[in-house]
Amino acid sequence: MSSYNITSLNDFIIRKQKDFPYAKGELTSLLHHIGTAAKMVNSKVNKAGLVEILGESGTLNVQNEEQQKLDKYADEVFIDALLASGECCGFASEENQNEIVFTETFAKNSNYVVCMDPLDGSSNIDVNVSVGSIFSIFRRTSPRGSEVTLSDFLQEGSRQVAAGYVIYGSSTMLVYTTGRGVNGFTLDPSIGEFCLSHPDITSPKRGKQYSVNEGNYLKFPEGVKKYIKYCQEIDKSTERPYTSRYVGSLVSDIHRNMLRGGIFMYPSSESYPQGKLRLVYECNPIAFIVEQAGGMASNGRSRILDIIPDALHQRTSFYAGSEDMVARLEGMLR
């Protein structure tokens, strides 16, 4: 019996196209090109030590953070792929101060804008720990035919039409949602296809692991300190103490918690009084996916997806994962 029972990412998107209210293949083309770009980034990540792509590029990004060569490479690959899709009219990412306007006529006549963290967890590249790419897709608010404006990218997260991440880990996966559940695809390098491996991902309501950079503990809000102590108390009836797991790549920490149950926390800290993670291209897409898998994503007081962004690179405190765990943390923060 041949093992030809694979569902490729493209098969799946086309099959699900009817679910997408205004799909006339537009979203299909966008997701297909994102998948292709992810394969290109993956091939560089997989041999990073060999292709002069490690290390710092010698430039700083908009937040004065050292840009890794792979950050810039990934940014360029996704920009080219999204332009080539013919369905994207503009792009915003961690690696560029301002939004990138696609001026080609075919692009100006398209309907979608994409916000990305092209390479998440950059500090982990040189030490061979998992990294990721995160994307968030909105319908434009500016009129078709015109050039995109900043306001196209500053929509609240609940208006996303799709979001996803790629995780370049022990295997490479692409996980996305269009608002009808979350599905995961694993790259089969022997055929160069993302194949459906995790249909309809749902997150357990509670888990036994928490993820936080405890190095920042002294400056955490009291409610977070209280919650961490709660996780560490011994109470067999609630399966505590929980396990602490922290990779330092948002995509890896979120993916593990989503599959197994758990909570990820990046509170405000000494070096990041507003929180470190960026709302537009890290927290919003992850929040959409986490909620679609049955979890919760909060800034400690309110739902991430309800926040109206004022700036492309604004940061926020971020708590996401199993519903019962995030709800308990919110209670301790109140």
Task: List residues near Mn ion by CB under 5 A.
Answer: 94, 117, 119-120
- The reply on whether position 121 binds ligand AHG by CB under 6 A is yes
Q: Does the footprint of ligand AHG cover residue 69 (CB under 6 A)?
A: no
Which of Mn ion, ligand AHG, none does residue 140 bind to, with CB < 5 to 8 Å depending on kind? none
Nearer to ligand AHG, 31 or 131 (CB): 131
Compare residues 117 and 152 and give the one whose CB is closer to ligand AHG: 117
State in angstroms the smallest separation of the CB of 177 from ligand AHG. 20
With CB under 6 A as the contact rule, the residue among 149, 213, 243, 314 that binds ligand AHG is 213
Q: How far is the CB of 122 from Mn ion (least distance, A)?
A: 5
Strand partners, 278: 315
The least distance separating Mn ion from the CB of residue 119, rounded to whole angstroms, comes to 5
Which position among 75, 95, 117, 291 is part of the footprint of ligand AHG (CB under 6 A)? 117
Residue 35's binding partner out of ligand AHG, Mn ion, none, with CB under 5 to 8 Å set by partner kind: none
DSSP string spanning 178-202? Answer: SSS-EEEEEEETTTTEEEEEETT--
- Which residues pair with residue 298 across a beta bridge? 303, 319
Pairing verdict, β 243-244 and 193-198: unpaired
Smallest gap from Cβ 250 to ligand AHG, in A, equals 4
From residue 76 to residue 95, the character string flagging contacts with ligand AHG as x (rule: CB under 6 A) and all else as - is ------------------x-
Rounded Cα distance, 333 and 117, in Å: 29
Instruction: Give residues with Cβ within 8 angstroms of 307, minimum separation 6.
Output: 156, 157, 279, 299, 316
> Please, which residue, 231 or 250, has the CB nearer to ligand AHG?
250
| HSE-CB for 124 with a 13 A CA cutoff | 20
Which partner, Mn ion, ligand AHG, none, binds residue 161 by CB below 5 to 8 Å per kind?
none
Q: How far is the CB of 120 from ligand AHG (least distance, A)?
A: 4
Stretch that binds ligand AHG, among 77-85, 119-127, 183-191, 319-327 (CB under 6 A): 119-127
Give CA separation, 66 vs 42, 72, 148, 229, in Å.
21, 11, 28, 34
Which string of x and - marks every residue 268-307 that binds ligand AHG (by CB under 6 A)? --------x-------------------------------
Among 42, 110, 122, 136, binds ligand AHG (CB under 6 A): 122
In whole angstroms, what is the distance from residue 307 CA to residue 21 CA? 24
* Binding residues among 236-275 for ligand AHG as defined by CB under 6 A: 248-250
Backbone region of residue 199 per phi and psi (left: phi > 0; alpha: psi in -120 to 50; beta: other values): beta
Q: Which helix (H) or strand (E) holds 138?
A: strand 131-139
Residue 111 CB partners (closer than 8 Å, separation 6+): 22, 26, 87, 89, 139, 140, 144
DSSP codes, 149-162: -GGGT---GGG-SE
The closest of 171, 172, 175 to 183, measured between CA atoms, is 175
Task: Write out the residues near ligand AHG by the rule CB under 6 A.
Answer: 94, 117, 120-122, 213, 248-250, 276
